[in-house]
Structure 1
Amino acid sequence: MMNIFFYMMVEPTYLAVLVALLIVLVSSIFLFKKFFGAKADTVLLIGLSDSGKTQMFSKLINNKSTVITYTSLSENVYEGLLTPSNEELRLIDFPGAERMRKLLSEKWLSKERGSLKQIVAVIDSSSINKRARDVAELLYDTLLESNKKVPMLVACNKQDVGLAKAPHKEFSLINQSRAASLQSTDGSNARASTLTNPEVAFEWSKLPVKVDFVKCCALETDVDDEEKNLTGIREAIGI
């Protein structure tokens, strides 16, 4: 009689434990697939306003198209960009307005990071002398906030204009200034919050993620000159 009573008391507890363990297991599998199993099929175009992102977005979809661009606070999304192997990619043109930086960080560089195949950072090479710091800050923050896991292609746009350059030295200055700021405020480990060791000169090759540069022109002013069309961009993203 005592054995039956004991069994009746223990069995529900045993089942409850099994159910709880099963729930934890299923939840863990779901979270793992969500954060680590997402298909990396998204190409994200970022850049400051007027860098040529939307023109590039349009040309990558249809190289015969011509668009009138304007500053927007909403994403342009194109599903079904085909590669030569018929793989479908999603192309996102993210707004360049500074007020959208928080959404860029929270959505694409954090929550949706697992879906990113590549980030294409479009810069207006013709005005880089005036906006070098702003461009460098955007690239730096994007690499840092994506946890240095997503390959980046820096598209040096508007190569049809004579004064076309890409920012390099600004990264070293940002590394040093941010490290100094962290050390002076709370003594945090500066290396953990900078892209590379701030004590040595910045080098692209020292980054833990691949960053490539390509010269281009979203207007595609010369089909025979790769610096004045989007051939290099198409090859880099595999379309």
Structure 2
Amino acid sequence: MSQVEVQKIEDHTTSLAIAAAVICVLLTLLIVWLKRRFIRRASTVLIVGLNDAGKTILFSKLINQGHTPHTYSSLKENVYDGFMDAAGNELTLVDFPGAERLRKQLFTNYFQQRRSNLRGILFMVDSATFSKRARDVAEFLYDVLYESAKKVSVLVACNKQDISLAKSSQAIRSALEREFGLINGTREAALESTAGDSKKRILTDTGRNFQWKDLHSPRIEFLECCVAPQHESGESVDLEGIQKWVNSL
């Protein structure tokens, strides 16, 4: 075989190697793009809580302090699709009304049909009226944790800390722990249906001795905040803890 023929073979082999390398790079880029396009991470952050807990104000402030979001009546959720976390991930914020009659709609739409898209739950509590509404808050939070299948991170934001009667996050945490124990006991004693179905809507089997550590998941945190403007200028708003939590999801 002549030297010219050998050189041609070597050149051809080199070209094939380069082409194969280029194809591998292109395939890798294509796979990454397809994963981002069709296998997206859960992106919905759900803001829930009883009426007057500060959900819509928080929703507005998270979007932009100078931005007025498109709002709906109290019987319709507010949705914002363009929220960016610190890592540049695009999230959907949902502010869901606190009316009790809408609970079934909440659980059906976001905890059953769209559960795979649920990234985090922000549960707002009015710290100033908590003493009067502790049981209602506990029942709602209990159902939220149950319906989420205990797989989604939850932040309990104890709002309105600027009011003198506001309970601390530790006091609220302890009170809810006791209430959860009572709910456990009540639900353990009752069948879910009159047809003899023994399935019970309970988070744990620890009964009245419930403790937060019994929930191996989800990750549940408590923090204190004040999302309403503290001055007429509306510039002083405590959102740092909430923003850190969102960025950690």
Question: Normalised by the shorter chain, which TM-score bucket?
Answer: 0.7 to 0.9
Q: In structure 2, how many angstroms separate the alpha carbons of the residues matched to 1:145 and 1:189?
A: 14
Secondary structure of the residue that 1:120 maps to in structure 2? strand
Secondary structure of the residue that 1:219 maps to in structure 2? coil
Instruction: State how many pairs are aligned.
Output: 197
Shift of 1:70: 9.1
Structure 2 residue aligned with 1:50, among 49, 52, 57?
52
Shift of 1:64: 3.9
Q: In structure 1, how many angstroms separate the alpha carbons of the residues matched to 2:135 and 2:52?
A: 16
Shift of 1:38: 5.7
Shift of 1:163: 2.2
Query: Residue deviations 1:175-226, cap 9 Å, x none?
Result: 1111111399647255xx311123451111211311111110111428xxxx
Is residue 134 of structure 2 the alignment partner of residue 132 of structure 1?
yes
Q: In structure 1, how many angstroms separate the alpha carbons of the residues matched to 2:112 and 2:77?
A: 17
CA RMSD of aligned residues (A): 2.7
Q: In structure 2, how many angstroms separate the alpha carbons of the residues matched to 1:75 and 1:184?
A: 31
1:43-82 mapped onto 2 (5 Å cutoff): 43-64=45-66, 72-82=74-84
Q: Give the aligned residue type for 1:197.
A: D
Return 97-106 or 160-169, whichever deviates more.
Answer: 160-169
Change (3 A) 1:206 1:198: closer
Q: In structure 2, how many angstroms separate the alpha carbons of the residues matched to 1:70 and 1:157?
A: 22
Q: In structure 2, how many angstroms separate the alpha carbons of the residues matched to 1:70 and 1:83?
A: 24
Corresponding residue of 1:25: none
Superposition TM-score, scaled by structure 1 size? 0.74
Q: Give the aligned residue type for 1:179.
A: E
Q: In structure 2, how many angstroms separate the alpha carbons of the residues matched to 1:78 and 1:233?
A: 17
Structure 2 residue aligned with 1:178, among 173, 187, 210?
187
Superposition TM-score, scaled by structure 2 size? 0.72
Corresponding residue of 2:209: 201
**Are the counterparts in 1 of residues 72 and 78 from structure 2 also a CA contact under 8 Å?**
no
Return 51-60 or 177-186, whichever deviates more.
Answer: 177-186
Q: Give the aligned residue type for 1:188.
A: S
Q: In structure 2, how many angstroms separate the alpha carbons of the residues matched to 1:141 and 1:51?
A: 17
Change (3 A) 1:65 1:188: same
Sequence identity (%): 48
1:203-218 mapped onto 2 (5 Å cutoff): 203-207=211-215, 208-218=217-227
**Are the counterparts in 2 of residues 59 and 66 from structure 1 also a CA contact under 8 Å?**
no
Change (3 A) 1:88 1:184: closer
Which of the pair has more CA radius of gyration? 2
Secondary structure of the residue that 1:238 maps to in structure 2? helix
Q: In structure 2, how many angstroms separate the alpha carbons of the residues matched to 1:184 and 1:106?
A: 19
Corresponding residue of 1:221: 230
Shift of 1:50: 0.8
Structure 1 portions without partners, runs of 5+:
1-36, 223-227
Structure 2 portions without partners, runs of 5+:
1-38, 232-236
1:90-239 mapped onto 2 (5 Å cutoff): 90-165=92-167, 166=172, 167-168=175-176, 169-182=178-191, 186=196, 188=198, 190=200, 193-199=201-207, 201-207=209-215, 208-221=217-230, 229-238=238-247
Query: Residue deviations 1:39-98, cap 9 Å, x none?
Result: 31110000111111000000111124589x996001101111111221111100001111
